[in-house]
Amino acid sequence: MFEIDRTDFQILTAFKVVDEETVIILDKPTDGITIAEIMEYLDSVNARKSRKTVYLHLQKLMKSEYVKKGIVYNHADSYYIAEKGKNALKGDL
């Protein structure tokens, strides 16, 4: 049985940015992204979720140590991916 579901995994993919041929993993507190940025990403991949849904899934992912809370950005919490989350993106659940 997996700890995460499809929505959790979709949210985790927001922490992996492909810039031309470079893959950037947002894995430092200063690299964190906000809920609004995660929602933008999900919209772009046709996986629209409400703010509350994203928030609740982020809380679950933090509790399970897939993501951590980063620095505050413009009065909004930011989140970054932890080692366990990076392993999940690789398929090492």
* Count of CA atoms in the C-beta half-sphere (13 A) of 15: 32
pLDDT tens per residue across span 31-40:
899 999 999 9
The CATH number of 6-85, from 1.20.1290.10, 1.10.10.10, 3.40.50.970, 3.30.43.10, is 1.10.10.10
Residue type, 2: F
pLDDT tens per residue across span 6-49:
999 999 999 988 777 778 888 999 889 999 999 999 999 999 99
